[in-house]
């Protein structure tokens, strides 16, 4: 969902303790592709780990994970997904970043991943390119995740 120097439709402005300093492009407004399926094992493992190692309040969202289902995915080909919790889709609007990490693809491209909430509901997992050189079409392995450099930037 990201291109170099751009934020997705989800991550515009200030969210929680983060201040993102990027410009938004039209590509970021692409409509999601509807889906209805349980989270994959890899999605569940990744989101759980990120919530356990994210912001202090992130751990409170672990209880929602067993009730999460994927309701849409990004149309750009990245591995980003949106959730519904016990059949309830989080409302549109502002989001809160719960966990934010970066990783390198096997080809060495710098990417990022964050888990977010909306209105108190676990709302999705976003993966994106930070260097604009690739589209992260697969999820990162936990071993490759590092805290982001922009985390807590003022």
Assess if residue 8 is contained within a domain. no
Instruction: Decide if 107 is inside a domain.
Output: yes
**In whole angstroms, what is the distance from residue 114 CA to residue 72 CA?**
16
Domain, as residue range, for 57: 14-147
Q: Is 136 part of a structural domain of the chain?
A: yes
12: pLDDT strictly greater than 80: no
Domain assignment present for residue 3? The answer is: no
Q: Is residue 138 part of a domain?
A: yes
- Sheet containing 33-38, strands listed edge to edge, beginning at the edge strand earlier in sequence: 33-38, 68-73, 81-85, 121-129, 110-118, 96-104, 146-147
pLDDT computed for residue 124 by the predictor: 98
* Model confidence pLDDT, tens digit, residues 52-105: 999 999 999 999 999 999 999 999 999 999 999 999 999 999 999 999 999 999
Report the domain count for the chain.
1
Task: Say what the pLDDT of residue 18 is.
Answer: 39
Q: Is 1 a domain residue? A: no
pLDDT tens for residues 13-36? 333 333 333 333 334 557 899 999
* SS3 label, residue 90: coil
Q: For residue 29, tell me if it sits in a domain.
A: yes
What pLDDT, on the 0 to 100 scale, is given for residue 148? 83
| pTM of the full structure | 0.80
138 contacts 81 by C-beta, under 8 angstroms: no
Statement: residue 2 has pLDDT above 70: no
Q: Quote the pLDDT of residue 149.
A: 61
Best CA proximity match to 123, nearest among 84, 94, 86: 84
Would you place residue 151 in the very low, low, confident or very high pLDDT band (cuts 50, 70, 90)? low
CB count within 10 Å of CB 133 equals 13
Please tell me the predicted confidence (pLDDT) of residue 87.
97
Q: What is the pLDDT of residue 150?
A: 53
115 within domain boundaries? yes
């Amino acid at each position: 969902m990201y291109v170099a120097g751009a934020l997705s439709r989800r991550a515009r402005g200030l969210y929680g303790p983060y201040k993102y300093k990027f410009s938004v492009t039209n590509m970021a407004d692409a409509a999601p592709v509807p889906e209805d399926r349980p989270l994959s094992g890899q999605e569940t493992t990744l989101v759980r780990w990120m919530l356990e190692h994210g912001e202090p309040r992130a751990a409170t969202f672990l209880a929602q994970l067993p009730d999460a289902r994927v309701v849409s995915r990004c149309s750009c080909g990245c591995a980003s997904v949106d959730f519904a919790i016990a059949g309830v889709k989080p409302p549109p609007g502002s989001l809160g970043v719960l966990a934010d990490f970066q990783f390198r693809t096997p080809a060495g491209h710098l990417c990022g991943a964050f888990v977010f909430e909306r209105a108190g509901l676990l709302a999705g997992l976003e993966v994106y390119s930070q260097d604009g050189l690739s589209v992260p079409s697969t999820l990162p392995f936990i071993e490759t995740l590092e805290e982001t450099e922009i985390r807590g930037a003022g």
